[in-house]
Amino acid sequence: MHLRDLATLIDAPIPPSRWVAIPQAAIQAFADLTGDHEWIHVDVERANREFGGTIAHGYHMLALIPALADETLIVEGVRNGLNYGIDRLRFTNMVRGGARVRMHRVLLSVEPERGGWMTRHRFTLEIEGEERPAFVAEALFLLFDA
Q: For residue 31, is it within any domain? A: no
d(CA 51, CA 42): 12
Report yes or no: 12 and 105 within 8 Å, Cβ to Cβ: no
Q: What is the pLDDT of residue 20?
A: 98
CATH number for 16: 3.10.129.10
Percent of the chain having pLDDT more than 90?
A: 96
Q: For residue 117, is it within any domain? A: yes
Q: What is the pLDDT of residue 84?
A: 95
- What average pLDDT does this structure show over 1-19? 94
Q: For residue 116, is it within any domain? A: yes
Q: What is the pLDDT of residue 31?
A: 98
Q: How far is CA 91 from CA 6, 7, 39, 62, in A?
A: 28, 28, 19, 9
Instruction: Give tens-digit pLDDT for 13-40.
Output: 999 999 999 999 999 999 999 999 999 9
Q: What is the pLDDT of residue 1?
A: 85
Cβ atoms within 10 Å of 74's Cβ, excluding its own? 9
Domain carrying residue 124? 3-23+56-145
Q: For residue 29, is it within any domain? A: no
Residue 44 has pLDDT above 90, yes or no: yes
Q: For residue 37, is it within any domain? A: no
Mean of the per-residue pLDDT values of the chain: 96
Q: For residue 47, is it within any domain? A: no
Report yes or no: 7 and 100 within 8 Å, Cβ to Cβ: no
Q: What is the pLDDT of residue 19?
A: 98
Three-state SS for 97-121 is CCCEEEEEEEEEEEEEECCEEEEEE
d(CA 125, CA 92): 10
Instruction: Give tens-digit pLDDT for 113-131.
Output: 989 999 999 999 999 999 9
Number of domains the chain contains: 1
Chain-centroid distance of CA 88 in Å reads 13
- What average pLDDT does this structure show over 77-90? 94
Q: For residue 68, is it within any domain? A: yes
Q: How are strands ordered across the β-sheet holding 135-145? A: 20-21, 100-113, 116-127, 135-145, 78-91
Q: For residue 69, is it within any domain? A: yes
Strand, coil or helix: 8 = helix
